[in-house]
Structure 1
């Protein structure tokens, strides 16, 4: 994270990649506690954008936004929200505004995002109350004129966190939840006062809608029917006109707001990890924001998403984790008790990022979980290779918990130290333990018990793919920071898995699931959880195709025709709802996989 601290006694529980006490103090004073605790890292760089031209600044990364501040810091301004990012690339060029060694060792990161545009003046006729409507964007002050001041937005973000105030006064106003940039307040338009038309439309012989007859005056039956038609016809026509205009104007605004912009960050340090952190933050954001569209997942995080929920201090979190660890590591613990304690740990880790950092610092808990997975999944199988339901349930819970512990802990030094210790011994054990045979031999394939086991096995294979995805993300970070022969890089991970007897069948199962999800045979759109799992499987297949010749050859030999005839980009677009933040990156992965599968 962006602050310093050593051991579990640190008040913030975070570590600096490169400590800057002055910037850290500024961030602590000028951000709310919930924001400060979730700052990933910060790094100096030269910034070029639509409003900034070659200015040396700090880029501050949180799990939802990139901020910019001066050097030295005076104000903090939002540069871009990850909800608007379309791509993050590492550009191989030599900037002409740098000289000497800085020019050669510079890392140029280009962030492409959808820029916001203010509401068009042509829609002013919709507002009867000139004081109502959307808050003005407003120009930046002279003090902030050199910063990229993009208004924060809730696009792609969970509704629970959309109204969090990130700064005191420096940021521009944030749109309130429930308001659309293409449609002002319905009460301002007077739409709520327009009566709804009846089920049947008015007859064509009705009188003019300008009749001055009052609906409350005494009338004859014929007059009553005439006035009823008048009252119905006027709102119906007005409503239809407004609806057409709103749809037309909203469509025009949607086209306009898709204007792409770019933010260029030039890190001049040869040891810069800015690109890696940006990629990691973006991946975490699109996964989390997509999962938050699932009601059950959102319920799990309800406590942490509630601004009114009591804050659990670092000391209290450390105490509770130590207590839970002692219970997990006690001798003679039963399987039922172990399962309940792991459930408690998984739920707490979902809601508390500080607990995830403590998990990596308390290495004995991680070692215990890996050892339990080895014993449960590989040490007590029946001679036929069939797992019991208890084995699959406990193994799934262990793997799911480990997966959560990887999320948003990229800059935790204890994590990389633990996994790389003794030439990657613990990481090797974790990798080999999570791979299993997806199709073991069965004696009664049509029995009810076997059907239940197949369901539990599929749940475990889903969880194993997610954990392998997190380990490969760690490998990508190591690839860029160290030599290819170092531990934990992608090539090393695949070499560790190479001799596993079930690796090919495991990878083949994941490929089958990708083809099934994108073939359109399911007939319905993917859920948020299914979409995230598809994204993770696609990343896994892409790594196999790019980094390992044996796995790439296996995939092309056994799945080329299946991908050629059943996996279509058009089907992928239909199955991946466009409102999911993860849909666009997944579609790019699918196109890349198809290219590697079919054209080589």
Structure 2
């Protein structure tokens, strides 16, 4: 799970925790774990305790240090904000206080509030005096709020420190911080086990419910799960995580996991998309098939790759094989991770896109647009939820980003309506619009890569959002391409009709807004072009109230999208 390298989950492997997770969780759950990192935790029931934070695709868990029981803290479905707080925690001293990254997560819960509890003092007889969460305490610096789309942390990375291979280098031992460990209450091995109770501290996770059965006598489990029979009314709660390291990537992992979750869960509201991505065949609705092993997935992926890379393949065969690859990748994160472990297929897809779209001089044909759209969609799927795969960043950063540059330049095409009408048949207009939508989704994934790569190591800082936009900005069709994306945003947010956006339209609006915001924030030339050519559209036609009407409140992506629209309007009209 944890690997070394630039794109690794952790700074250094934590063998003990990794082994604990692998032994005590279902394989399907273990393979979806994105990151784990030790930090100091403050919540309503936990007061300044050194723990491990474990992130999966859907949930955040906490476990003791060293690990004994895995307990769910919350689901990303309930998260309302993830922010980086710029303060100096008063319970840390010296270098640890300066290096600390304070992450505040606001989420909804239906459990009643717990006031003034200090479980360390109660269970161990010792502990630290209770302190209000840092958000309610005077800080040395102002709070910096980051929403889901803002993925830039406030400290620069540096070389990793050397530490024991069984301990993560991202945080020191709890005794070094002057903090106690979570108390051990593991029952003796000879103690009787009640009927129906698990014998071990942790039983495998149930993939259907996402719940992790706890062992008997776990302090952490009792505290985080007590008072579960609340009034049923939701309220906001906060979890504060203090990563004592200048190399910590926990904030970026949280932001990336949350972003992926709201996109995936919004798309799952669309029945057609849900059928496409479901691993269960239509002939067996409601039945969960056994998970395909990693070895079997690798074998099938190898066969499909060989067929795609064969010499003299026809366009029809290429299209059908790409459809098969895209569908398989949508259903299997393991296949997406395998994709990045060899450069052959990525180079082939980039070359296919260059030949089918960028080599055209007379106009676009339907076949070329269909193949280009499918190629871009396949590439976008491969980026999804694979930021924890070290080979991905290593492959794209090789040779100063040569392959990444080719991909960026290949995806941009002429979107100007006047030249389109002259170069392409009328029946290709819809196909070209479909391609431009897919291209925006791929650029969104590449921008997320840029945000994460900028926090990796100084040697790879060139793969940043600014670098990506710098590669795109001189492209002869970049202005018409970005102009099309603006026009689509304006069209959606100025339409007087009250019809709500579909899940797919909402995700696309979110991705377009993220692309426009990046242009305004990270590239002066593109920002100036947007302000000079589209100021009136944003001043008179784009209304936040219209966006609120168009985005259904039950879509997980609605609130982050509204925040993006508000940021764009502010940058457009007040600078």
Q: For this structure pair, what is the TM-score category when the shorter chain's length is used for normalisation?
A: 0.7 to 0.9
DSSP-derived class of the 2:454 partner: helix
TM-score when normalising by structure 2: 0.78
Which residue of structure 2 lines up, in the alignment, with residue 465 of structure 1?
440
Selected match of 1:505 from 461, 464, 480 = 480
- Given the alignment of the two structures, is residue 567 of structure 1 paired with residue 537 of structure 2, yes or no? no
Pick from 398, 420, 443 the counterpart of residue 375 of structure 2: 398
CA contact (8 A) 1:86 1:112 kept: yes
> Does the 8 Å contact 1:389/1:456 carry over to 2?
yes
Does the 8 Å CA contact 2:65/2:182 hold for their aligned counterparts?
no
Residues 131-162 of structure 1: CA deviation (Å, up to 9, x unaligned): xxxxxxxx9x9799989xxxxxxxxxxxxx98
Secondary structure in 2 matching 1:303: coil
CA distance in 2 between partners of 1:499 and 1:391 (Å): 24
- Write the mapping of 1:312-351 to structure 2, written as runs, cut at 5 A: 312-351=292-331
Partner of 1:32: 26
Q: Is the 8 A contact 1:30 1:168 kept in 2?
A: no
**Deviation of 1:118 (Å):** 5.8
Name the one with the larger helix percent: 1
Q: 2:415 and 2:474 mapped to 1: Cα distance? A: 17
Give the CA deviation at 1:451.
3.6
Distance 1:316 1:98, change over 3 A: same
Q: Larger Cα Rg: Structure 1 or Structure 2?
A: 1
Corresponding residue for 1:80? 74
How many equivalent residue pairs? 478
Residues 110 and 79 of structure 1, relative CA distance in 2, 3 Å threshold:
same
Q: What do the CA deviations read for 1:35-69 (whole angstroms, capped 9, x no partner)?
A: 11100010000111111111000000000011000
8 Å Cα contact 2:41/2:242 also seen in 1: yes
Query: Cα deviations across residues 461-503 of structure 1 (Å, max 9, x unaligned)?
Result: 0000000000001111122334498321011111111210011
The answer as to whether partners of 1:485 and 1:492 remain within 8 angstroms in 2 is no
Which of 330, 341, 346 is equivalent to 1:366? 346
- Give unpaired runs (5+ residues) of structure 1: 7-13, 120-138, 148-160, 176-180, 183-252
1:301 correspondence with 2:277: yes
SS of 1:436 mapped into structure 2: coil
| SS of aligned partner of 1:481 | coil
8 Å CA contact 1:31, 1:166 repeated in 2:
no
Q: Which residue number corresponds to residue 242 of structure 1?
A: none
Larger RCO (CA within 8 A; separation ≥ 6): 2
CA contact (8 A) 1:32 1:166 kept: no
Maintained 8 Å contact 1:479/1:489: yes
Q: Distance in 1 between matches of 2:9 and 2:520?
A: 35
2:212 alignment partner in structure 1: 167
CA RMSD of aligned residues (A): 3.0
Q: Which of the residues 43, 64, 67 maps onto 2:61? A: 67
The CA deviation at 1:15 is 6.6
Contact 1:52–1:146 (CA under 8 A) maintained in structure 2: no
Residues 376 and 391 in structure 1, CA contact (< 8 A), matched pair in contact too: yes
1:521, distance to aligned residue in structure 2 (A) = 3.1
Structure 2 residue aligned with 1:198: none
**How far is 1:165 from its partner?**
4.3
Report the alpha carbon displacement of residue 443 of structure 1 after superposing the two structures with TM.
8.8
Q: Please give the residue correspondences for 1:582-593 in structure 2 after superposition, counting only pairs within 5 Å.
A: 582-593=557-568
| Cα distance, 1:442–1:511 mapped onto 2, change above 3 Å | closer
How is 1:400-439 mapped onto 2 (pairs within 5 angstroms)?
Answer: 400-439=377-416
Query: Distance in 1 between the 2:310 and 2:399 partners?
Result: 26
TM-score relative to the length of structure 1: 0.75
Question: Secondary structure at 1:572's aligned position in 2?
Answer: helix
Contact kept in structure 1, 2:454 and 2:460, CA below 8 Å? no
